Amino acid sequence: MADDAIVVGSGVIGLTAAVVLAEAGRRVAVWSRERAAETTSAVAGGLWWPYRIEPEEAVAAWSLESLRVLSGLAARPAETGVRLVDGTHASTAPEEQGRWTADVPGIRPAGPGELPPGYGHGLRARTPLVDMTVYLGYLQDRLAAAGGTVTDRDVPDLAEAGRAAPLVVNCTGLGARDLVPDPLVHPVQGQVVVVENPGVDEWLAAEDHGTGEILYVLPQPYGVVLGGTARAHVWDRTPSPATARSIVGRCARAHPRLAGARVLAHRVGLRPARSPARLETDGLPNGARLIHNYGHGGAGVTVSWGCALAVARLADAAGC
């Protein structure tokens, strides 16, 4: 076998796992039917924040490991696409804080003057905010530097990858629904609007517990990403003009200058959700080891490095 490991999937979860395995000395190949720029990761807002993902204890560990790595990468934003940006996570009702909050440097309750209109509770923090176009390119370059390869290849059966390497890492996201198959995997549709930045320099994420609506304002080098939606089991990737107007309107209530900002793009992505996210060892018919690493929903960036390091530990424990 030419490779020690095949990673199936080239989104942020797959590329990060491939980088960690390759930098540990394994010969790694990424197989994917989509290029990184075509994956859901490419349209992600890129904010580090544990978002609607379980299991809680594992997510806390994955998220904090990722926070440490991403914070280090923020020292080279032009190369990596990662910056540390101040921001606010707001809600209309008190929220039980996950155990991860105790280990986020500088996190604190938001004061009344730091919350958007209509939101009475929140947290302030300085967290990684990732330009995904730059970041996915950085991961591919880092993988190549470690000797890894990326191949455009449809994988109709994980056993096919198992015949090419003794270790297969399944990072297929939404594709795992049919490939495994795993009926627990489902899409959560997210629509965003990208506008010219009228002077927003902090991120904002907010949730209305009465209506279930979410909004986020994420300043990126190419504009401001305005969101959003979280529609479970919706497969449509077509941007809705009415939804776009609603998104801009909600975000403009927090930042009035956004109301007149020029629209640069409309985007829709399908978050690959599963409750809980799946990260565990399995097997393939020919004896190859299979590690599942999928179902992270909208928290892929947030948990990517923690999950990749967990994959490497599972591979070591399996003797691969």
Q: Hey, what domains does the chain have and what are their CATH numbers? A: 5-184+273-317 (3.40.50.720)
The residue-averaged pLDDT of 8-13 equals 98
Is 41 one of the annotated binding-site residues? yes
297 is in an annotated binding site: yes
62 near 97, Cβ under 8 Å? no
Residue 173 labelled as part of a binding site: no
Tell whether residue 155 is among the known ligand binding residues. Answer: yes
- 51-76: pLDDT as tens digits: 889 999 999 999 999 999 999 999 99
- Model confidence at 299, pLDDT cuts 50, 70, 90, reads very high
Secondary structure (3-state) at 301: helix
Residue 40 marked ligand-binding: yes
pLDDT of residue 51: 84
What are 211-259's pLDDT values in tens digits?
Answer: 889 999 999 999 999 999 999 999 999 999 999 999 999 999 999 999 9
**Structure confidence by residue, pLDDT tens digits, 265-282:** 999 999 999 999 999 999
Q: What is the pLDDT of residues 92-102, one digit of tens each?
A: 998 888 889 99
Task: Measure the CA–CA gap between 320 and 93, rounded to whole angstroms.
Answer: 47
Which pLDDT does position 97 carry in this prediction? Answer: 82
Over residues 119-163, the pLDDT tens digits come to: 999 999 999 999 999 999 999 999 999 999 999 999 999 999 999
Question: Annotated binding residue at 16?
Answer: no
Judge whether 103 and 116 are in contact, CB under 8 Å.
no
Question: Does the annotation flag 301 for ligand binding?
Answer: yes
Tokens 């089991």, located at residue: 233
Give all strands (DSSP E) within the chain, no chain letters. Answer: 5-8, 28-32, 82-91, 108-109, 121-130, 149-152, 167-170, 186-195, 203-207, 214-220, 223-227, 231-232, 263-283, 289-296
Which helix (H) or strand (E) element contains residue 253? helix 241-254
Tell me, yes or no, if the pTM score tops 0.75: yes
User: Is 300 marked as binding a ligand?
Assistant: yes
Distance of alpha carbon 13 from alpha carbon 228, whole angstroms: 22
Residue 133 marked ligand-binding: no
Are the C-beta atoms of 13 and 173 separated by less than 8 Å? yes
Copy the structure tokens of residue 136: 């996915």
Average pLDDT of the residues of the chain = 96
Question: Distance between CA 115 and CA 253 in Å, rounded?
Answer: 12
In 3D space, the residue among 181, 139, 177 whose CA is nearest the CA of residue 30 turns out to be 139
How sure is the predictor about 116, in pLDDT bands with cuts at 50, 70 and 90?
Answer: very high
Q: Is the pLDDT of residue 1 over 80?
A: no
Cis peptide bond N-terminal to 175, omega within 30: no
pLDDT on residue 23? 98
The structure tokens listed for 52 are 């609607």
